[in-house]
Amino acid sequence: MGVEPDIAVEISDEDLSNFERFKTRKSATPETLEELEKWTDPVLKAAIDKLQAR
């Protein structure tokens, strides 16, 4: 079982920025961590949605 690789996902500049900040979250400020907790990765969400639809 795998995720089909051809899922088109819109990625905004804000999403790209949040993803970069997510990768360095171990050194993030508490404010940044709070913001990242509210963010949903659109690529991960699309993959989960695809799996749940099976």
pTM above 0.85? no
Q: Taken in order 43, 48, 49, 53, is the CA torsion positive or negative?
A: positive
Can you tell me the distance from the alpha carbon of 53 to that of 14, in angstroms, rounded to the nearest whole number? 27
Can you tell me the distance from the alpha carbon of 5 to that of 1, in angstroms, rounded to the nearest whole number? 12
DSSP line for the chain: ----S-------HHHHHHHHHHHTGGG--HHHHHHHHH---HHHHHHHHHHHT-
pLDDT per residue, tens digit, the chain (54 aa), is 555 567 889 999 999 999 999 999 999 999 999 999 999 999 999 988 988 887
